[in-house]
Every structure is written in C-alpha cells, then in structure tokens.
Structure 1
C-alpha cells in the first residue's frame, strides 16, 4: 500500500500550533467589557473557527489492491469521506507544475486517464509539494513507486526548480 498523508508534513503541525497561538492572542477581544471588542472578537473567532475546520480535515491518498483512494480524515485519524477509482481508469502518471504568484511553484503528482468523453481527462491528484530540488526528488521517487505498483507509465515533463 502506498500512502501520502497531509499530516506527515511539518507544516500541518505548525499550522495547528499557530491556530492555538492565534486563539490565545484573541482572548482580550472577548474578555473586554466593551461591546465593540465583543463584536470584533466574534468576527475574529469565526474566521479562526473556519481556519480550524479546514485544518482539522486533512486528506490522505492511498493506492492499494488496484484502487486509488482519497480519504478526508478528522485530525488525520478518523475517515469521514472517501473517493475511490480503479487503476484501470487511468493510463499514466504525470508530474505537473502549477505556477504561483507569491511563493514557490507547486509540483503535483497526477494520475491521469481518459473518460468516456474524449475531451475530458480523468485526473486524480495524489500528492503536491513546493517546487524545490529535494521535493522534486521526493515526487520522482513516489512516481516511480506508484508506477511499479500499478504498471502505469510515467509521462515525463519539464519541471523547473526554483
């Protein structure tokens, strides 16, 4: 079984710590006696609650027994939602680069195939990383492992490292 988890990233854990720090930092807004501070505190904590919701639902991509599966997990432990597709629905593995305006580009490990309609391409995003030399090596290694496990060909494309 090949697994790629969001919770294995240090950034996920640091984001959780940052959310806790932000919650502590906003306490004076709700502990104040002034109505205006309560209003801003409600707004502040509602934004923080939305961020915590997205943080608490990381994804996990797996490949096992001829099936690609994406699971949305509660804190990375309890599966809440699953999407799966058979390996036969796909024909190749690609490394794609997505340009970003304010930070390093993103490298996506995509599993692609053709749907019934020839104009649509079935795509399954297996993993993503920032475009660095170390992450490109990780992406290549995972693509090779997926290719060996599924028998899908790897389509090579030019990926620029920043």
Structure 2
C-alpha cells in the first residue's frame, strides 16, 4: 500500500500488485520456466514440438496475466480500478465517485484449503448499493494488520467511517 500526501491536502491511497517481491519472483519463475522448456522446441522430434507448442501457449497465458496487474486507488474524490501493462501503462480503468460510498469495512471469506481471505471493502448505503473491493489478503495476523492500515489510510483520505466487525472470539 502506498499513501501520498498531495498538494492542497489531497491524499492518494494506492494498493497495487506490481513491483512487490512476489510479483518480481513470479516473473523470474516464468523466465526460468521459459528457459526450461527450450529442449522441447529445439528437438528434432515432432512429438516434442507438439508438447513444446502446448507448453509455451500455457506459459504465454500465464505471462499475460502476470503482465497485467491490477491497481486500486483513491485520488481526487474517485475510487479507481486500473489494469496496467507491467505496472506502467494504464490499459483499462473504471472510476467511481466517493459520493457512491458510505463506509469502509472488512469481509472475511472462509477457504477450505488455506487461510481465509480478508477483504477491505468500500460500500454504499444499502445492501444493493455500490461496492468496491480495495484490497484482499490471506487472513494471517500480519495481513490483517495490513488490511487495518489500508482501511485507516482510506478513512483518513476519504472521511468515511470504518465499520469494524465484532470480534467473535477467534
């Protein structure tokens, strides 16, 4: 999460997937996977070329998802979700004005095979109102603190109250 204090008291809060250690590590793993598959396409056997084509087409799809990380931000009274090529060039964005929202809150989704997921949500006045997922993390103690820090920064920047769920003793 990144928070910037802009001129005239405006604050920008950004949550992005690019340029984190995990993002760079995933890029290096994909590069290594590309190198590892070279014997398939450099072989003289037709069967290896077929499997190489299959291997590299799957790898290309994975690289496409890696190269288009999402970014959520609040700036100048607008919430934005953007997809940016390699974290630098904006390809698509959707903006929603702050006036569509009334509170910031957490949601926790149970998962069967790993830690639960904690979401920092910004939502409108009723159950059918506008909702904006600002960030999500696996529900470890450190990540829950990150979610709380993002919610606090958003509350400070937007003036929206944080609706904290009651602790049920877990």
1:11-90 alignment, distance < 5 Å: 11-90=22-101
**Does the aligned pair in 1 maintain the 2:19–2:87 contact within 8 Å?**
no
SS of 1:110's partner is: strand
Aligned residues: 158
Distance, in Å, in 1 between the alignment partners of 2:18 and 2:166 is: 29
Moved more, 7-16 or 80-89: 7-16
Distance, in Å, in 2 between the alignment partners of 1:73 and 1:159 is: 37
Paired position in structure 2 for 1:141: 149
Distance, in Å, in 1 between the alignment partners of 2:100 and 2:52 is: 49
TM-score, normalising length from structure 2? Answer: 0.87
**Does the aligned pair in 2 maintain the 1:6–1:59 contact within 8 Å?**
yes
Q: Which runs of 5+ in 2 are unaligned?
A: 1-11
Q: Which runs of 5+ in 1 are unaligned?
A: none
Distance, in Å, in 1 between the alignment partners of 2:110 and 2:167 is: 11
TM-score, normalising length from structure 1? Answer: 0.91
Paired position in structure 1 for 2:5: none
**Does the aligned pair in 2 maintain the 1:96–1:159 contact within 8 Å?**
no
Q: Tell me which of 96, 99, 123 is aligned to 1:112.
A: 123
**Does the aligned pair in 2 maintain the 1:69–1:85 contact within 8 Å?**
yes
The runs of at least 4 aligned residues of structure 1 exceeding 4 Å deviation read: none
Query: CA offsets per residue over residues 82-132 of structure 1, 9 Å max, x none?
Result: 100001101111111122222222111111114xxx662321111111111
**How big is the alpha-carbon RMSD for the aligned residues of Structure 1 and Structure 2?**
1.8
SS of 1:62's partner is: strand
SS of 2:79's partner is: strand
User: Structure 1 pair 139/19, CA: closer, same or farther in 2 (3 Å)?
Assistant: same
State the shift of 1:159 in Å: 7.2
SS of 2:18's partner is: helix
**2:132 aligned with 1:124, yes or no?**
yes
SS of 2:74's partner is: strand
